[in-house]
Structure 1
């Protein structure tokens, strides 16, 4: 398990986070900084690389007194835990070490760092750079969200640091869920792993299901090749025997050409056998000619033995299981335990 992780960065239009002059380039204004402060206040920990501490000596604290007071009123520390990773020493007089609310990881793999932070109770992690740290989180698939403030500035100097270094990030298009003007910067809200994003939408959809002792709560979303939602549904949405995938597909004309290149997401493996309806959800998906299916959790054998993944794969559909989200899907209902 690891925390939900948000990368936060401000950059120029041409992708630089500073210039090469030795004086700090100001990219964000007061309004954007207030947004960042709000994000800090909702985080359990803030992580920066050791080079950021050496170069900028950041305090990594919540600036707003009201936000700090709100944290204390909720039984939380006044400021998030400060976290860094290093392979060599740091100045003990740095602001990072101003109190005991910090942790330093030395020569630890990033996967172990986030696992240990989760064990320390960190559920929401904010990562503020620098380039090497942001690169590592994205290259290892450990970032859930990116808050990217783009300033109306051009740096144009290859010697200056960029938002990211070279790495193999894959070629998936990210999910863009909003662009907001904050002062004179444009803030992009991006989700780097589209399958993870849409499965979490399914999990949230599953929370809408009317309660039942004899059926699982399930959510489903159909997404086209350009990453746009076509339809969604949840179990028992229209009647007490309806399934999520069936309900989502009932909202779409099955001759819609977008379905031929779409992905259907579900919090649970689609059913392969069914007594309450003529067709199982796997059969619905096959008949809709949707070429790709992604799910989070294998169907438990509480009610039937599920073989939806095998049935779909046998029909030539690309089936992707995401066990990294199984616990989140399972947590919706005690029926999954």
Structure 2
């Protein structure tokens, strides 16, 4: 195991776990916050792209650029819906639903790539679905109006958009992570610019601006640098495990700083979701594969 890469990924996930707390302290709507975030990420990661001179070795292709642009669209809406969810419901609950994304990737793979869904995988999907119902409350599932007000729809849409980002991005093999992120954040700026209400930035306090720039340069630029710089040197299994540092930190901050106290039903729902996801992304290898590895 590359210890330096593991530490970098752990730090990036721990920092990103505080993005919900930062979001509700910015004092601006989700669309404007994502717009600033895209600008900061473009400046930070674009600068690193130039400094490292990675742009000289890029392998551009029309197909991958189109895929990257599509990823950028889904990534932007993913951020917007997630930040809206933070403003409408407790961070812990929004993060739990948001982390359903790997389950949606599994479903998309079964539908569009004809990947075989095993019985354990289907059971994991059912368990995660039951968990989301327990989180939002059984009595509210029958009312779309209540679900929307509670942020459930926003959190679910953010998970779907994140899943689409991962699903479409699987086909991008040659572009560097700098180029990938640079194109995606440029797409975000272009999409959001016509909708931005610049008057929301008037009257903001110094504290508001620190949180806004923090989500841009720290949670997007710096975190993405650490994340992309580390995952290429780690196994898929370890990456899948360390990614869960993000929701763990988010839930702990929500409970410690914002005094969120989940009900027993909501705790059970979160356990259902994370249990199903952990089984899906960190399932043990088949017995025959273990035998082959030992033999080799």
TM-score, scaled relative to structure 1: 0.21
Q: Select the structure that is richer in helix.
A: 2
Greater strand fraction, Structure 1 or Structure 2: 1
Greater relative CO (CA pairs within 8 A, separation 6+): 2
